[in-house]
Amino acid sequence: MFYDLSRVELVDDTNPLRRYFDLLPIEAEASAMWLGEGNTPCVEAIDLGRAVGLPHLFLKDETKNPTHTTKDRMASVALTFLVEHDVTEFVVSSTGNSGTAFGTGVAAHPEMCVHIFCGLDFLDRVNVPDVPNVKVYGVAGNYFAAGTAAWGFAQRTGIPYEPGFFNPGRREGSKLAYLEALDQMPVDPDVVVQAVSGGMGLYGAYKGFCEYLLLGRLRAMPRIICAQQSRCAPMHAAFRDNSATIEDRHIVAAPDGLATAILRSNPSDTYPEMRRVVERTNGTIEAVDDVEILEAHALLRDLADLDACYASAVALAAVIRLRRQNLIGIDEVVLVNISGADRDPVVWPRPRPTLVEPPS
């Protein structure tokens, strides 16, 4: 999505869908389905930065969103985009966070309906209200199996399949965490880091950075670093091999790892785009092991007072590794997206899932 930047006006409003309206794929402010997300703190982590050798370390704390993850931003804009295009019932697949955000948003709008497909191993991460218009399906298998089952269901029923990364509402919503951070930080970041499975958050961030550069609100493009866990790091493996695509040898047959939110075995559809983003910004794709993740998780808790998820710890662990290798300089300003919390946000009875046979 492209906007006429000569007509962009950012307004002072607590609702980010109104504040950044001119940079969003929303046709009418009145149709914006704000779910209460946004306005999360971006803090300079002085004690944590000192401990890891980065005196200019900033954390964007997305755990303060309604379902405690950055996916709420995606859901608000994506739901608005769908409704404005006459889609009120749709099918999604999820490892938990996006399904929770979508389900929570749809629950507040009875005129809509969502069908959420999730692998059984991730089913306890889908925390949505038990209401008739939010339907949850458990599939024996991983994220890929859930996605295949969801696509098959959509084909059989004629209900639209929500395309994830390729839904512009998702990508444009995801960038808002970063635009907000840029508006909050006293200095511009030199390096931006987030844990990725498909990379939607950082892809959206890159587009937002391009827009802010053209608007004169950012002095230079920051280096973008995608972080993965070594037990499930197909993007890192392909990037390390200087491969333009995810090849069979990069696909993880049985994805496993501490950070369940980013257990995606085969991001072949999104990797080429993310590779281009990383290369254009002189960034990289890094992978970290369990020891590094656990160390970073403890540092976030003890030195930043953050109950962060393991995916957030993956991002910080990548920063620590790159700093130790002197690939991030001591004087650089680093922004890490703390993309979710390490706690169960459920405050309502969960729906009983419909069990679905895995696709043959």
Q: What is the mean pLDDT of the chain?
A: 95
Distance in Å from the first CA to the final CA of the chain: 37
C-beta of residue 104 within 8 angstroms of C-beta of residue 81 = no
Q: DSSP 3-state assignment of 280?
A: helix
Q: Are residues 221 and 163 in the same domain?
A: no
C-beta of residue 165 within 8 angstroms of C-beta of residue 200 = yes
Q: Are residues 111 and 223 in the same domain?
A: no
* Domain CATH number, residue 185: 3.40.50.1100
| Class of residue 248 by CB neighbours under 10 A (exposed 0-12, middle 13-18, buried 19+) | exposed
Rounded average pLDDT over 181-193: 98
- 173's enclosing H/E stretch is helix 168-174
- 69 bridge partner residues: 340
> For residue 18, is it within any domain?
no
Q: Are residues 79 and 198 in the same domain?
A: no
- 273's enclosing H/E stretch is helix 271-280
Whole-angstrom distance, CA of residue 96 vs CA of residue 203: 20
Q: Are residues 105 and 208 in the same domain?
A: no
Q: What is the reported pTM?
A: 0.95
Q: Which of 58-67, 115-124, 197-206, 327-336 is predicted least confidently?
A: 115-124
> For residue 5, is it within any domain?
no
CA-based R_g, the chain, Å:
19
- Which tokens hold the place of 136? 């949850």
Task: Please give the torsion angle defined by the CA atoms of residues 43, 306, 259 and 322, in that order, rounded to the nearest 10 degrees.
Answer: 50
Q: Are residues 174 and 154 in the same domain?
A: no
Sign of CA dihedral 190, 196, 201, 202: positive
Between helix 200-214 and helix 271-280 the angle, nearest 10°, is 40
Q: Are residues 162 and 209 in the same domain?
A: no
Exposed e or buried b per residue across 85-101, where buried means at least 16 C-beta atoms within 10 angstroms of its C-beta: eeebbbbbbbbbbbbbb
Residues 284-343 pLDDT 10s: 999 999 999 999 999 999 999 999 999 999 999 999 999 999 999 999 999 999 999 986
Q: Are residues 309 and 222 in the same domain?
A: yes
> For residue 8, is it within any domain?
no
Q: Are residues 208 and 291 in the same domain?
A: yes
- 191 bridge partner residues: 223, 334
The pLDDT of residue 349:
77
> For residue 294, is it within any domain?
yes
The pLDDT of residue 196:
98
* CA angle centred on 231, ends 145 and 359, rounded to 5°: 10
Domain of 273 in residue numbering reads as: 42-69+170-338
Residues 133-178 pLDDT 10s: 999 999 998 888 899 999 999 999 999 999 998 999 999 999 999 9
Q: Are residues 208 and 281 in the same domain?
A: yes
pLDDT at 347 over 90: no
> For residue 197, is it within any domain?
yes
C-beta of residue 299 within 8 angstroms of C-beta of residue 182 = no
Rounded average pLDDT over 69-81: 97
> For residue 16, is it within any domain?
no
- Pairing mode, if any, of strands 89-93 and 191-195? unpaired
Residues 15-42 pLDDT 10s: 999 999 999 999 999 999 999 999 999 9
C-beta of residue 99 within 8 angstroms of C-beta of residue 345 = no
* CA angle centred on 174, ends 69 and 161, rounded to 5°: 90
Structurally, the chain folds into a number of domains equal to 2
The pLDDT of residue 74:
97
C-beta of residue 229 within 8 angstroms of C-beta of residue 257 = yes
Q: Are residues 120 and 151 in the same domain?
A: yes
Residues 6+ apart with CB under 8 A from 276: none
> For residue 145, is it within any domain?
yes
**pLDDT band (50, 70, 90) for residue 6:** very high
C-beta of residue 125 within 8 angstroms of C-beta of residue 100 = yes
For tokens 């866990």, the residue is 229
> For residue 103, is it within any domain?
yes
Q: Are residues 157 and 194 in the same domain?
A: no
- 102 bridge partner residues: none
Q: Are residues 180 and 325 in the same domain?
A: yes
Q: DSSP 3-state assignment of 335?
A: strand
Residues 199-255 pLDDT 10s: 999 999 999 999 999 999 999 999 999 999 999 999 999 999 999 999 999 999 989
- 169's enclosing H/E stretch is helix 168-174
The pLDDT of residue 95:
87
User: Which residue type does 332 have?
Assistant: E
Rounded average pLDDT over 58-70: 97
C-beta of residue 134 within 8 angstroms of C-beta of residue 112 = no
